[in-house]
Amino acid sequence: MLVVGFTGSHCTGKTTTATICENMLKRKGYKVHFIKGVVRNLDKNELGTIEAQMKIHKMMCDELIKAYKSMYDVVITDRTPLDVAYYTLYYLIKHEWDETSLRLAQKLIQSNISVTKSLYDLIILMDGIDTIPIVDDGFRLTDNHSRLCIDIIARIILRTLPDDIPVYVIKPKSPEETAKEVVYVIEKMLKKYECELSNE
């Protein structure tokens, strides 16, 4: 099973691209599971707190564990635990969290990174902050400053991943073209894994 996570700042095309990739892969005959929009299970008023970030992390982990128990070829997530780390760092500075929250945040970020290292095979960084306009859907942050901050944090944290978890940076084009590029990378990795298994 290949676990692929889309990551990056808000309004960069993660969910749109992931959805099209899911459909493309299914049409090619792959068994695909898509974990989508976990953060939207929260009350918007909770956002920006350590409690909300911990809930998001737990929901993501629960969904990933469920997926691991099934026989999928590909699992796609439109966020990764690393995204929880990006926003945790952003919010702890923006909202000047108290010391207790900061200590919890430190443990949470360590867990975000650890889970990503142990469960993911491929990370897709959506490099779309300069190409995709911000859309106010009543839930996400809507200012360019926050989007740029998250993008900077993401690029720093992604450098902590080991070399055996490839990070593919993609500049969004049209949704279909972007998805085709990602599907090409996914299929390449699937074929590589098949060759490794057949040689064992």
Mean predicted confidence (pLDDT) in 41-69 = 91
Between 14 and 193, residue with greater pLDDT: 14
Q: What's the pLDDT at 44?
A: 82
Among residues 86, 74, 70, the alpha carbon closest in space to that of 126 is found at: 86
| Average pLDDT over every residue of 131-147 | 82
Spell out the alpha helix ranges (H) of the chain: 14-27, 50-68, 81-94, 99-119, 144-158, 175-198
The span from the CA of 181 to the CA of 100, in Å, is 43
Output b/e per residue, 3-26; b: 16+ Cβ within 10 A: bbbbbbbbbbbbbbbbbbbbebbe
CB within 8 Å of 67: residues ≥ 6 apart: 3, 33, 35, 75
Q: How far lies 97's CA from each of 88, 100, 101, 103, in Å?
A: 10, 8, 6, 10
Quick one: CA dihedral 184, 185, 191, 194, positive or negative? negative
Note whether 72 and 12 are within 8 A (CB): no
**Whole-model pTM above 0.95?**
no
Question: Which pLDDT value is given to residue 47?
Answer: 87
Which pLDDT score is estimated for 41? 80
Asked if residue 59 has pLDDT above 90, the reply is yes
Domains parsed from the chain with CATH numbers: 2-198 (3.40.50.300)
Joined together, the tokens standing for residue 185 give 């990378």
> What's the whole-number mean pLDDT along residues 74-78?
97
Segment 132-157 mean pLDDT: 87
Q: What is the pLDDT of residue 200?
A: 62
Average pLDDT, the chain: 92
